[in-house]
Amino acid sequence: MNRKLKKLLLNWKVLLLIIFVAGSIATLAVRPLTYGIDIAGGVALIAQTERPVDSSTMEIVTDSLQERLNTFGLREVQIQAQGNDIVVVKVANVTSTEEANSLKKVIESQGVFYMEFNGVIFGTGKDITYVGVYQVKSDNSWAVPFRISKEAAEKFAELAKGKPGWPVDMFLDPPADSLLVVPRSIYDLMNSTAFNANAPEAPYLIERIESAFNTTTVVYANQSAEELKRLANGKQIVLAGVGAELVDELKAMNVSVRYIPKQSGVTDEEFIKKVLGLYGPYSLGAELAQGEPQTDVQITGHASNRFQAEQEARTVYTVLKSGSLPVKLKVIGMEFISPKLGESFKTQALYAGIAALMAVLLIVYLHYRSWKIAIPVASTSLSEVIIILGIAALIKWNLDLPSIAGIIAAIGTGVDQQIVITDELLGGDKSTKITRRSSTLKRIGRAFFIIFASAATTIAAMSLLLVYFVGTLKGFAVTTIIGVVIGTLITRPAYAEIAKYLVGEK
């Protein structure tokens, strides 16, 4: 290895490119890409509100639907508001009419919200008469004020008298009248003080849901479908992270069954909350344990930072609001996308990407008549694609066809800018070494002025698309922005160093 090549490989811009490519490959190896329904297959349901609503109301509707569908353990759910009365719900990997009809039922129902204390339901969504704007203070504490009906307040006062610190639970669409089948670790956590707020003497969560919702929890110990059916005794069976292989067998036995997978990275506590649709538990304040009915109450909390506090307060606000959705939804359209068709799209997109890189390689070669320029240009574009895919996997972005179109567009933009860099380097004079060095820096500076200007205008245009267009082109905007940012900050600077080595400063 000669001295100049060694110097190039140790250049920090080239090293940065190598690190990002290696990191992206490692990310893709441990966290596979996820795809939108136009590639993975699924169903799109189009719902219409009973009347046109304003943007803030539409935001509440979409947030509430997202929370509700998340409790059903669905992955790859996309909810988009279009106009003032249309909501599009896309769910990947749903291919049967039965599953789609279950989704339709969830969307068209206004949701069931419960407030529970000591195993007794003291209020539902109908008892929430007002939800105030949540507040987040400078110390990262938050509060969501709301008002409950007089009947709910009186019932709660009677239940809560003399029990400060006891857990107050809120549930959204819990698995009522069900046999909940869970792993041993989940069962042990539910059957402990982990969900008892500041009152270890209070009934455990497993007892509270049994009393409030007739939900019996059992440990999965490789029971057969027949044994689970016998245990359920007519109830719905909810398989929480276990027994996926029993779903079809139970359905064949005319048993209502739901399987909720446990995704990687989700803690047992988070999984329990998701399965039960549980928000809380919240510790009962001493002022509410006096036995005096109070209709104006609030839920408070504290987070480690302001962002988390905003998220927690917003979630509680949304859940309280979703107990009384401002409008009803009616599903007016349903469209299935075959996974086979999606697989075909994926294959075609792969071929299109390979063809694009080959075309880039050939055209650049014909332009410069030099493989030592053409190959680095194509290789840099390939590395850019790998980094974009690595980031998409890292942030769990659903790749759909518009997203792939954005990646191909980013390749085209990248090649243009690499040609600008190459042309600037090839266009210099050949005077003294010092003059040549100075001239090279000026030419690189001119090239990057064009690149930064182009990147700024592209990001500005795509940002408007991202913010104001929430339809399918959102994926195009996201991947284009990611590609432009990666190109501007990582791949183009690295290519400039490589190009200087190859054509500028031999």
**For 279-310, what is each residue's pLDDT tens digit?**
878 888 888 888 888 888 888 878 888 888 88
Place of tokens 């042990």: 188
Residue 230's pLDDT is 92
Angle at 315 between CA 313 and CA 320, to 5 degrees: 95
Rounded CA-CA distance 208/177 in Å is 13
Q: H or E stretch including 8?
A: helix 3-9
**pLDDT mean over 251-268:** 86
- Which pair of structure tokens corresponds to residue 328? 């009803």
Q: Which of 243, 237, 253 is nearest to 220 (CA)?
A: 243
Residue 506's pLDDT is 44
Q: Which of 471, 421, 490 is nearest to 450 (CA)?
A: 421
Three-state secondary structure string covering 211-243 = HHHCCEEEECCCCCHHHHHHHHCCCEEEEECCC
Place of tokens 């009915």: 293
Residue 103's pLDDT is 76
Enumerate domains of the chain plus CATH numbers. Answer: 3-36+339-503 (1.20.1640.10), 42-110+325-337 (3.30.70.3400)
Entry pTM: 0.55
**pLDDT mean over 472-497:** 84
HSE (side-chain half, CA atoms, 13 Å) at 46: 10
- Which pair of structure tokens corresponds to residue 104? 């339709």
Question: Residue 317 is which amino acid?
Answer: Y
Q: pLDDT tier at 463 (50, 70, 90 boundaries)?
A: confident
The Cβ of residue 428 has, within 10 Å, a number of other Cβ atoms equal to 16
Q: pLDDT tier at 111 (50, 70, 90 boundaries)?
A: low
Q: Which residues, including other chains, have CB under 8 Å from residue 345's CB and lie 6 or more apart? A: 38, 39, 401
Residue 352's pLDDT is 79
pLDDT winner (highest mean) among 28-32, 205-209, 245-249, 469-473: 205-209
Residue 460's pLDDT is 85
pLDDT at 194 over 50: yes
Task: Spell 273-308 as b/e; 16+ CB within 10 A means b.
Answer: bbbbbbbbbbbbbeebbeeebebebbbebebeeeee
Burial category of 228 from C-beta neighbours within 10 Å (exposed 0-12, middle 13-18, buried 19 and up) = buried
- Which pair of structure tokens corresponds to residue 133? 């704007």
282 three-class SS: strand
Q: H or E stretch including 439?
A: helix 433-468
pLDDT at 207 over 90: yes
Place of tokens 């039965």: 98
Q: Which residues, including other chains, have CB under 8 Å from residue 440's CB and lie 6 or more apart? A: 425, 428, 500, 504, 505
HSE (side-chain half, CA atoms, 13 Å) at 110: 14
More confident residue, 112 or 180: 180
Mean pLDDT of the chain: 82
DSSP class of 502: I
DSSP class of 289: G
CB of 386 closer than 8 Å to CB of 25: yes
End-to-end CA distance of the chain: 15
Residue 324's pLDDT is 54
Q: pLDDT tier at 341 (50, 70, 90 boundaries)?
A: low
CB of 315 closer than 8 Å to CB of 186: no
Q: pLDDT tier at 144 (50, 70, 90 boundaries)?
A: confident
Residue 205's pLDDT is 94
